[in-house]
Amino acid sequence: MRGSQSLGTVPEVIAERGGRCTELTVYANGKAPMDHAPKIKAWLQDGALDCLSFISPSTAKHFFEAMGSTEIPAGTRIAAIGTTTAAALRRLGLPVDIQPEVYDAPHLAEAIITRLAQSISD
């Protein structure tokens, strides 16, 4: 099962190893209503956000489209759940400050906590 913008990595790896995979698209990636965009933009401009975390390439793309810019204040960290999301952020010209070794939500949260705690103690 996958989203409409899946890169198809899992089926490719399975095929490379001699297996077969049937892909089922079970949800469509798309823009969510951005009613809160002005408030989020103000928080960004005021430096009120310590970290922006992204769990897919489409979240990064849609977020920065909604913000109208990829500029972020100094000190705001950018976290990516894994390599594909990190690559999408870098294509947008953004640094990736935080990326967990294990690409799942609990490890992403832990990596963010660790990095922000280091920033406080520095």
pLDDT in tens, 51-100: 999 998 988 998 999 899 999 999 999 999 999 999 999 999 999 999 99
Identify the residue whose tokens are 């103690």.
Answer: 121
pTM, whole model, 2 decimals? 0.79
Which band of pLDDT confidence, cut at 50, 70 and 90, is reported for residue 9? confident
CA 30 to chain centre: 15
118 φ/ψ angles, rounded to the nearest 5 degrees? -65, -40
Return d(Cα 37, Cα 109) in angstroms, integer. Answer: 23
Between CA 22 and CA 35 the distance in angstroms is: 37
- Quote the pLDDT of residue 26: 62
Confidence of residue 32 (pLDDT cuts 50, 70, 90): low
Q: Does 33-121 carry CATH code 3.40.50.10090? A: yes
pLDDT value, residue 1 = 61
Return the closest-CA partner of residue 79 out of 54, 46, 116, 115. Answer: 54
- The answer to which of 29-33, 42-46, 103-107 has the lowest mean pLDDT is 29-33
Alpha carbons 100 and 108: distance in angstroms, whole number: 5
Domain ranges for the chain: 1-30, 33-121
CA–CA separation, 117 and 122 (whole Å) = 9
pLDDT at 50: 93
- What sign does the CA torsion over 16, 17, 21, 25 have? negative
Going by C-alpha positions, the residue among 77, 71, 70 that lies closest to residue 119 is: 77
Percent of the chain whose predicted confidence (pLDDT) is above 90: 53
Place of tokens 């294509």: 91
